[in-house]
Amino acid sequence: MKSFIISKKSFYTVLVLLVSFFNSNAQSGGKQPVFVLVHGAFHGGWCWQRVSRELRAKGDLVYAPTLSGLAEHKNTLNAQIDLNTHITDIVNFIIEEDLHNVVLVGHSYAGAVIAGVADRIPERLSKLVFLDAMLMKNGQSALDVSPDDIRQYFIKATTDFDKGLSIPFFTSDFFGVTNTADIKWVNDRLTNQPFRTFSQPLVLKHPYGNHLPLTYIACTAPELRAIQPFAEMTKKSKDWKYLELKTGHDAMITMPVELAQLLQSLN
């Protein structure tokens, strides 16, 4: 009987040590930053291939999901896809992949997406990075913050093209891509943007960014007229870390090495 009591005590001691060991490993593993890269309008997860390769070469964990109705999901395009859908895409992705300590990067239109994600699951995120991104306040849509002529173009183009379902994509030269091979590669992959993602206002229940560190990376050569006001605002704000890349809007295509280095420098 005595040997049984000793064995039982030993068993529980070993069990406690094992649980402590695995908990410690899980917590230390969770400390590694995870990059989730969210593409902008008309693009897909494919546009991050070069940046992802650079980050992974340094041992980083990287994910580049594609939003509903775009790229490889273009067959799912429908009238119900809106900004909320795209926010939910990324929230669900982070939860289902069980990601923590996420550096959430949003390009262009995806500035609205990552702001919405931070509003819902800030505990999963470590910082927000806005790459030449649109910044919508609570109650504003992408159309609301666009210059008048561009807003009118979007509305007319989507009405003429497919009666309000989607915005026809711009070609890669609009996004500052100049290399001939890159132009073809990008143009072959761009897809139309679900219109309601631009017309639905962003709804935030918490302060913008939900108390997470905010970084803005402006693409300045050339600057997109529609994006410039957001870059100027963050450059002057003490609430933002402001950085620049001297390249066009699609920096993940035109300056992937430099962009990856900037992202790594934030950790």
What lies within 8 Å, CB to CB, of 203 at 6+ separation is 84, 116, 138, 139
The phi-psi region of residue 254 (left if phi > 0; otherwise alpha if psi is between -120 and 50; otherwise beta) is alpha
**Catalytic residue (one of 7, 10, 28, 108):** 108
Distance CA 194, CA 77 (A): 7
Active-site annotation holds for 108? yes
8 A C-beta contact, residue 33 and residue 267: yes
Q: Exposed (0-12), middle (13-18) or buried (19+): which is 161, by Cβ within 10 Å?
A: middle
Which residues does residue 193 pair with via DSSP β-bridges, in sequence order? 167
Distance CA 161, CA 137 (A): 29
Cα distances (angstroms) measured from residue 48 to each of 35, 45, 158, 190 = 11, 6, 27, 13
Residues assigned a catalytic role: 108
